[in-house]
Chains A and B, each alone.
Chain A
Amino acid sequence: MKPFKTLDAITCPLPQSNVDTDQLIPARFMKRSRADGYGGFLLHDLRFDETGAQKPDCPLNDPERQGAQILVSRRNFGSGSSREAAVYALVDYGINCVVAPSFGDIFASNAVNNGLLPATVSEDDCEALLAGLADGAQTATVDLEAQTIRAANLVLPFTVDPVWRTKLLNGWDDIDLTRSHAAAISAFAEADRTRRPWMQPRKTG
Chain B
Amino acid sequence: MTVAGTESGRTLFDKVFDAHVIVKREDGQCLLWIDRHFLHEGSFHAFNKLKERDAEVARPDLTFGIEDHYVPTRTRDLSVIDPAIRGMIEQLRGNSQRHGLRLFDLDDPGQGIVHVVGPEQGLTLPGLTMVCGDSHTATHGAFGAIAFGIGASEVAHVLMTQTLWQKKPKRMRITVEGALAPGVSAKDIALSIIARIGADGAAGHAIEYAGSAIRSLSMEGRLTLCNLSIEAGGRCGMVAPDQTTVDYLRGRPFAPEGTLFDKGAADWLALQSDADAVFDREMHLDAADIAPSVTWGITPEDASPITAKVPDPENFEDPARAQQVRDALEYMDIRPGQCLSDIRIDRVFIGSCTNSRIEDLRAAASILKGRKASVPGLVSPGSMQVKRQAEAEGLDRIFLDAGLEWVDAGCSMCVGMNGDLVPPGERCASTTNRNFRGRQGPGSRTHLMSPAMVAAAAVTGHLTDMRELMQAPVAGGNIG
Contact = CB atoms under 8 A, between A and B. Distances in A.
B280 interface: no
By size class, the interface of chain A is 35 or more
A18 interface: yes
Nearest to B301: A18
Given A79-B200, A79-B299, A184-B23, A198 B161 contact: no
B439 A175 contact: no
A128 B416 CA distance: 38
Contacts of A127: 320
Interface stretch (B7-15, B26-34, B184-192, B287-295): B26-34
A166 B436 contact: no
A177 to B, nearest CB: 8
Given A20-B299, A175-B157, A201-B62, A181 B22 contact: yes
Contacts of A80: 135, 434, 436
A16 B255 contact: no
B23 to A, nearest CB: 5
A170 interface: no
A200 B264 CA distance: 11
A22 B45 contact: no
A26 interface: yes
Interface string A1-31: 0000000000000011110101100111011
Given A16-B324, A106-B135, A204-B61, A22 B33 contact: no
A178 B163 contact: yes
B263 interface: yes
Contact of B27 (A79, A114, A163): A163
Contacts of A87: 151
Interface in B147-167: 148-154, 156-157, 160-163, 165, 167
A197 B102 CA distance: 20
A22 B434 contact: yes
Interface stretch (B119-127, B172-180, B208-216): B119-127
B480 interface: no
B437 interface: yes
A113 B150 CA distance: 11
B35 to A, nearest CB: 6
Contact of A31 (B88, B123, B438): B88
B161 A175 contact: yes
B203 interface: yes
Given A74-B320, A163-B27, A197-B260, A27 B203 contact: no
A110 B150 CA distance: 8
B438 A185 contact: no
Interface string A74-94: 111001111111010000000
Interface in A123-171: 123, 127, 161-163, 166
B1 interface: no
Nearest to B264: A198
A62 interface: no
A75 B167 CA distance: 22
Nearest to B234: A105
Nearest to B411: A27
B255 A188 contact: no
Contact of B263 (A34, A177, A198): A198
Contacts of B415: 27
B128 interface: yes
Given A105-B233, A178-B165, A30 B417 contact: yes
B22 A82 contact: no
Interface in B417-438: 417, 424, 434, 436-438
Contacts of B439: 22, 27
B165 A174 contact: yes
B248 interface: no
A185 B320 contact: no
A81 B135 contact: yes
B134 interface: yes
A176 B416 CA distance: 37
Contacts of A181: 22-23, 31, 163
Contacts of B424: 50
Given A17-B324, A113-B151, A174-B157, A202 B438 contact: no
B297 to A, nearest CB: 9
Interface string A171-194: 000110111010011001100100
A105 B204 contact: yes
Contacts of B29: 163
A205 B256 contact: no
A28 B154 contact: no
A178 B31 contact: yes
B475 interface: no
B327 interface: yes
A104 interface: yes
Nearest to B419: A28
Contacts of B162: 185, 189
A199 interface: yes
B163 A197 contact: no
Contacts of B85: 31
Given A15-B323, A113-B154, A185-B163, 8 more contacts: A28-B416, A34-B48, A75-B200, A84-B133, A105-B233, A123-B320, A174-B157, A201-B254
Interface of A: 15-18, 20, 22-23, 26-28, 30-31, 34, 45, 50, 74-76, 79-85, 87, 102-106, 109-110, 113-114, 123, 127, 161-163, 166, 174-175, 177-179, 181, 184-185, 188-189, 192, 196-205
17 contacts: A23-B436, A27-B415, A76-B198, A76-B203, A82-B150, A84-B152, A85-B152, A103-B203, A105-B235, A106-B135, A178-B163, A179-B161, A188-B22, A189-B33, A201-B36, A201-B254, A204-B102
